[in-house]
Structure 1
Amino acid sequence: MFILHLALGGCVHAPPINFGITADTGGHIAYVLDAALAQARTASVDRVSIVTRLFNDDNLSPRHSWVSECLADGVTIDRIATDDKRYLEKEALAADLVAFTAAFCDHIRRLPRHPDVIHAHFADAAAVAMEAQRRFGIPFVYTPHALGIDKRAQGCAGEGMESRINAERAAITAADGIIVSTRDEADRQLRAYGVAIDGRIHCLPPGVPQRPVPHGATTLADRLGEWLDRPEKPVILAIARPVWKKNLAALIRAFASSPTLRERANLVILAGQHNRPCSPEEQGVLAEMRELCADPAVRGRVALPPAHDADDVSALYALAAKGGVFVNPALHEPFGLTLIEAAAMGVPVVATMNGGPREIVETIGHGLLVDPRDEDAIARACLAIVGDTALHARLSDAATAQVGAYDWTRYATASVAVYASIGDIRPALLACDIDNTLTGCATGARAFAEWRAGSALPFVIATGRSFDAARAVLRQWRLPDPDAYIVDVGTRMIIVDDVGRWHACPAYAAALDHDWDRAAVARTLAPLGIERQPPETDGPHKLSFFGTSTDAARIRTTLATAKLNARVIFSHGHLIDVIAPMGGKAAAIAAYAARHGLSLNRCVAAGDSGNDADMLEACGHAIVVANAGDELAMLIPRAGLHRVRSRHAAGVMEGLDLLGLTHRVAVAA
């Protein structure tokens, strides 16, 4: 198996990782690296590629401009360049996503062998994986790591949050599988997006990050006297980025509020690398922390080092194991990788009760849970552990005894099994175009109708026509009603309610709003003078024109120059549709399939024209009828793509027969 991990944000390179060197270089980097290395050791995996951005930044290692870097036998980090060679923070990545997606698809096209699966980390990587899924039929797994709806619920509703949530919803909808770390993510957080996930969600806790204790080197643990009056006292340790949700200032206030705690222990906080360019939020949090540390009540009792490396972290964990405690006071934590790092080093913990830490502490039994908004509770929990040697010993023993519940080998075996399961391409859904695919031959149409009457395979129509026009042509050709209609070139999904009434799916329509500015697209294209189709062919996520392939190319160039995101689809030799970037037949089929716990790999698409190309590329099985237009000559031959000899519906039936989906009825003599 060839696994491709896709992670765009942060500084991805071979260990050791300098966590906190940028705002996005956090725990997910360790997750990706350790997952890849563990998966490469499984018998069925022969190659793992971690794909990320290539960039040049004078403040960061030059290795990020290397095209490829070897991690281990069969494991590489492969970097993809766009015209923007700057390091980009998460918020700025969106502007480069279209260019990166195109470069990524070129990278996939050049590979001598396509990956069997793409594992996308965060929604930006999932958006790229969705395009690879559409073009090449490569299934993808999505790991969100942190979800916007929960961040918003905790008061982190900054600029761009709604766009982030929409992107996450699109990723959840399109993913062939979803891997999360905790039951809270699986049972509560993901379900808040209103997307059917049953059958696609897998809860696989990660393993323990490997942090060997340095020997011989001088570390922060040896230099705490630079900040602390009595560095020999037990350490209350916290490690987190200096952002508001991590609640580090509350920990300082909790420490300051308890004279007994200040007497018994020191507080050490590693809050990223202070000597790098910081966001306004980080600058504000660091300024507040420095001001709190300047209070005479805590001066000489709190260390806030401006920089640290991996050896410093390991040494401070080892120091905290000697009578101290590790604290994660975050307002909400999706998982809490530092809590299992602490457990591996025998360090008891005090952790937020919100999110993944609850599950971790209940599993290992190595600490106490607190309400992160209750600073007195944080202080009491810390004092309970550092002030009671028997409790400290009991929690430390539990940590080392039970941390094995988080094991990378177990994760690797389970995740590879998930990848293999979504590679199951037994057909479970048929999606057909209408014009010249099901229509054009009365005999073939009649055979299809007879097959449908005796088949339990779910069936959807995927057409460029409107809903009313699609129903009319099906009646005209005496073709059967489908289970759902995908109409207007994949910009509307029409489903049936419990009492048999057809209605547009609002969740799909909402997903198409992402990154779509219809008014700006219309204004930008108007000066081209390309003939518009009748107004009734337009829709909220679609504008339609008459024109040539040259006109379609002009539209693409004009929109790209204006930096407007849209898909331009040329079909039937004279029709041009400009649709929302998240739309299209493949996207709609993926959304409908996901409602039923299916992936695109389990879908069969049948078509004849350019507006069918995306679904013919993306679905696990594709039937191209013999009368197909030249627009489909560009389809790349692959397993599952069937160019049949019969025309129209007879060709669909030929393809279904090839797939073993028809039944032959013997006629008695």
Structure 2
Amino acid sequence: MGLKLLHLHLHGLFRSQDLELGRDADTGGQTLYVLELARSLANRAEVSQVEVVTRLIHDRRVSLDYSKPLEPIAPGASIRRFSFGPRRYLRKEQLWPHLDELADQLVRHLRVSDNRPDWIHAHYADAGYVGALVSRRLGIPLAYTGHSLGREKLRRLLAAGGEHEQIEQSYSISRRIDAEELALAHADLVITSTRQERDEQYARYGCFNPDHAAVVPPGVDSRRFHPHGNAEEFTEVSELLSSFLREPERPPLLAICRADRRKNIPALVEAFGRSAVLRQRHNLVLVLGNRDDSRQMDRQQREVFQQIFDLVDRYDLYGSVAYPKHHRRDQVPAIYRWAAAQRGLFVNPALTEPFGLTLLEAAASGLPMVATDDGGPREILSRCDNGLVVDVTDRESLQDGMERAGADRDRWRRWSDNGVEAVSRHYSWDAHVCGYLALMQDRLKRSSTVTVSSQLLATPSALSPFGSRLLLLDLDSSLDQPDLKDLQSLRQQLMAPSAQAAQTSFGIITGRPLGVARQRFAELHLPDPQVWITQAGTQIHYGDEEQADRFWQSQISVDWQRECVEQTLSDLGDHIKLQKPEHQGQFKVSYLLEQPGPSVLPLIRQRLRQSGLPARPQLRCHWFLDVLPMRASRSEAIRFLSLRWGLPLEHILVVASQQGDAELVQGLPAAVVTADHDPCLDGCRHQQRVYFANRSRLMGVLEGLQHYRFLNARSRLD
């Protein structure tokens, strides 16, 4: 039986044919790479199945293709679409609040043995986040490819004069970096395109383990990208550009990319406009995706195009610059070949370029390059010797590089020949797929991925301590100093015949140790809980048992170093102090903040990452800070119970009110948010399975129970 591979590619628009590359910032080279990789893998004898999971979209603004739950790619390869979040198309920065919902759906889908893959391969930070959660819960090995990295993007944007607050607002960069750290902490294999990406860019992450990383350069489809053009395709390209260019026979400076700020195209236009040499010798051809109505573009695209139009006007570049509104994807190889036949240059001025697949496409077509000296282009140049790399943050350097590259016809010919030959030798799809599969097969033989889940799934359901539903209440908030009348009402509802008929179980969540929690709970005179999630989610006990769930303990103990956490944070006395010993736990280091504020969490995360400790800090009620194992949380404990006992997440109800409770209301469980909630929970109002009560404290809980009819025989959750 061959390998079964599951790829996660979540943002943008993904289908099996006619990719809308360049439609927006989210539909670029990664999309093409994943599609070609799936096709190539499906052709291998070692592989029995390839599935690409992406987002299902119902939106009149995009094709109906993206609303199909299943779509074939090739024999043995297919696309499976899951609906998560709003039905409409969203840019990737708006997907973050909905990713837990997808992770829950994927776990439910993959629990069926026939659906279980041998590997999950996550592409980009959003898929890395989902892949890490699924890998953690099901014990499936995870491969991760970042494609571009948040820390590198932040560094380059700041170097180009961007402001941190604006970058955060535009790109959700902190959320992205946290997701990348999580993916790297769980990855059995990190696939990078270049040594520079592995040794410099990924090395900036605290959770990166270089022993888990391998360089596998992407491949180029030699059937599409080659130097052998013909008159018919050249005529078609010329017609595409004819309305722009006064002297179309001039060698073009060609750029093909998205209209994205990171691609730095306005700097290219300005360098061209300021150089009398370039304007006399060349035309500038910008293929920046397809655009119809500018009002339908995202703000960043509109800003980039407006900058280009302003620069064309400022330097009076009319007749020398082409920026066609439309082109077909099948025209792109011909555009490269046309530019090579004109003795032009391919220019990539991106601020950051992890690899640069377009550079290889150009090289395979016989078109030399002038490219950013960041990341992949340097490694491509070292193998291909087909152009120059320059500092694109310095416009004079970019201008000088293009002037020098176009000055020597003999050198241009040598570069052209070098590129064609080197791509054939170093960057074929066969080489890429062979290296890729060899790594996966080798890692499977010695994988260290936790496989507790296989034991969990084998647990007979007859032993479950739960019925068909589970209500989880927080002892530290929902049940803290309750009104006696409300408490009596809750007691009566929990003990009512309807609740018994509905087979509703009851559980407690708390940050306290089990003994303290039981002592406090006894004062409430409520029915005995079937489960206790204590110590901020690091311990699970059933009924009156004293022994914690050993499977959960085994799962969260991976890489946990409690003493090292204490030592790493020991010099932060001006910010935090350890709580008393009775508040500490085997898998929990608890602190009190000296002064509440938003800056402490980034500081703690930074310290833990710098020390290479896979641990997660959590702030609750503005004053209480817990540092837990990377794999532990109240939310993950709930998912564990669902898997352990076969209880659907949709049949679990949680309550949220305090800072730090946002994790509880993500994904498939139903949730009630009481009226006295912390303002940070207002951001969860878009979640489909969250009910915001009009009443506070325990009254709000009772209102939520009534809303869901949770204690009735027929609930809204059924």
What's the TM-score once normalised by structure 1's chain length?
Answer: 0.68
Q: Which residue of 1 aligns with 2:179?
A: 167
The alpha carbon displacement at 1:58 in A equals 2.1
Aligned-residue sequence identity (percent) comes to: 33
Q: Which residue of 2 aligns with 1:422?
A: 443
> CA deviation digits over 1:380-428, x for unaligned, max 9?
3223333321111010000111112112111111111222222225779
1:220, 1:315 within 8 Å by CA — same for their partners in 2? yes
> CA deviation digits over 1:64-111, x for unaligned, max 9?
111222221111122112362211111011122122222222332346
Amino acid at match of 1:352: T
From the superposition, tell whether residues 380 and 496 of structure 1 become closer, same or farther in structure 2 (CA, over 3 Å): same
Do residues 493 (structure 1) and 493 (structure 2) align?
no
Q: Name whichever of 310-319 and 351-360 sits farther off.
A: 310-319
Q: Measure, in 2, the Cα distance between the counterparts of 1:363 and 1:55.
A: 41
From the superposition, tell whether residues 196 and 254 of structure 1 become closer, same or farther in structure 2 (CA, over 3 Å): closer
Q: Secondary structure at the match of 2:154?
A: helix
2:143, 2:189 within 8 Å by CA — same for their partners in 1? yes
Q: Measure, in 1, the Cα distance between the counterparts of 2:240 and 2:351.
A: 31
Do residues 288 (structure 1) and 288 (structure 2) align?
no
Q: Measure, in 1, the Cα distance between the counterparts of 2:245 and 2:139.
A: 58
The alpha carbon displacement at 1:499 in A equals 14
Amino acid at match of 1:494: Q
Q: Measure, in 2, the Cα distance between the counterparts of 1:344 and 1:426.
A: 37
Q: Which residue of 2 aligns with 1:626?
A: none
- Equivalent position to 1:302, from 310, 318, 321: 321
From the superposition, tell whether residues 338 and 565 of structure 1 become closer, same or farther in structure 2 (CA, over 3 Å): same
> CA deviation digits over 1:286-338, x for unaligned, max 9?
10101111235311100112222213322221111021000001122111111
Do residues 564 (structure 1) and 584 (structure 2) align?
no
The alpha carbon displacement at 1:561 in A equals 14
From the superposition, tell whether residues 63 and 43 of structure 1 become closer, same or farther in structure 2 (CA, over 3 Å): same
Q: Measure, in 2, the Cα distance between the counterparts of 1:27 and 1:428.
A: 30
The alpha carbon displacement at 1:158 in A equals 2.8
Q: Measure, in 1, the Cα distance between the counterparts of 2:247 and 2:378.
A: 33
- Equivalent position to 2:392, from 361, 372, 389: 372
Amino acid at match of 1:189: Q
- Equivalent position to 1:254, from 241, 249, 271: 271
The alpha carbon displacement at 1:280 in A equals 2.0
The alpha carbon displacement at 1:154 in A equals 0.9
> CA deviation digits over 1:190-247, x for unaligned, max 9?
1111225132001100101453669857744323220111112111100122222211
From the superposition, tell whether residues 489 and 237 of structure 1 become closer, same or farther in structure 2 (CA, over 3 Å): closer
Q: Which residue of 1 aligns with 2:118?
A: 116
Q: Measure, in 2, the Cα distance between the counterparts of 1:413 and 1:76.
A: 21
1:464, 1:487 within 8 Å by CA — same for their partners in 2? no
Do residues 518 (structure 1) and 620 (structure 2) align?
yes
Q: Measure, in 2, the Cα distance between the counterparts of 1:114 and 1:430.
A: 13
Q: Name whichever of 239-248 and 357-366 sits farther off.
A: 239-248
- Equivalent position to 1:408, from 429, 451, 472: 429
Q: Which residue of 2 aligns with 1:346?
A: 366
The alpha carbon displacement at 1:429 in A equals 9.1
Q: Measure, in 1, the Cα distance between the counterparts of 2:188 and 2:403.
A: 47
Q: Measure, in 2, the Cα distance between the counterparts of 1:129 and 1:388.
A: 49
Q: Measure, in 1, the Cα distance between the counterparts of 2:420 and 2:398.
A: 23
Q: Which residue of 1 aligns with 2:212?
A: 200
Q: Measure, in 1, the Cα distance between the counterparts of 2:628 and 2:367.
A: 59
Do residues 186 (structure 1) and 198 (structure 2) align?
yes
Q: CA RMSD in A?
A: 4.0
Q: Secondary structure at the match of 2:561?
A: strand
The alpha carbon displacement at 1:536 in A equals 12
Q: Secondary structure at the match of 2:286?
A: strand
Pairwise mapping of residues 113-152 of structure 1 onto structure 2 (< 5 A)?
A: 113-152=115-154
Gaps of 5+ in 1: 432-462, 471-484, 523-534, 569-669
Q: Which residue of 2 aligns with 1:357?
A: 377
Q: Name whichever of 495-504 and 214-223 sits farther off.
A: 495-504
Q: Comparing both chains, which one has the higher relative contact order based on Cα–Cα distances under 8 Å and sequence gaps of 6 or more?
A: 1
Q: Measure, in 2, the Cα distance between the counterparts of 1:538 and 1:12.
A: 39
The alpha carbon displacement at 1:261 in A equals 1.5
The alpha carbon displacement at 1:255 in A equals 0.9
Q: Which residue of 2 aligns with 1:233?
A: 250
> CA deviation digits over 1:108-155, x for unaligned, max 9?
234624111010001211221222212322111000011111111112
From the superposition, tell whether residues 185 and 373 of structure 1 become closer, same or farther in structure 2 (CA, over 3 Å): same
Amino acid at match of 2:313: A
From the superposition, tell whether residues 56 and 519 of structure 1 become closer, same or farther in structure 2 (CA, over 3 Å): same
Number of residue pairs matched by the alignment: 505
Q: Which residue of 1 aligns with 2:289?
A: 272
Do residues 158 (structure 1) and 168 (structure 2) align?
yes
1:517, 1:564 within 8 Å by CA — same for their partners in 2? no
Amino acid at match of 2:362: A
From the superposition, tell whether residues 240 and 423 of structure 1 become closer, same or farther in structure 2 (CA, over 3 Å): same
From the superposition, tell whether residues 558 and 245 of structure 1 become closer, same or farther in structure 2 (CA, over 3 Å): same
Gaps of 5+ in 2: 159-166, 453-531, 540-551, 571-588, 590-606, 667-718
Q: Measure, in 1, the Cα distance between the counterparts of 2:55 and 2:93.
A: 15
The alpha carbon displacement at 1:16 in A equals 3.3
Q: Which residue of 1 aligns with 2:161?
A: none
Q: Measure, in 2, the Cα distance between the counterparts of 1:327 and 1:501.
A: 46
Q: Measure, in 2, the Cα distance between the counterparts of 1:209 and 1:92.
A: 33
1:19, 1:309 within 8 Å by CA — same for their partners in 2? no
Q: Which residue of 2 aligns with 1:85?
A: 87
Q: Measure, in 2, the Cα distance between the counterparts of 1:358 and 1:83.
A: 40
- Equivalent position to 1:74, from 73, 76, 90: 76
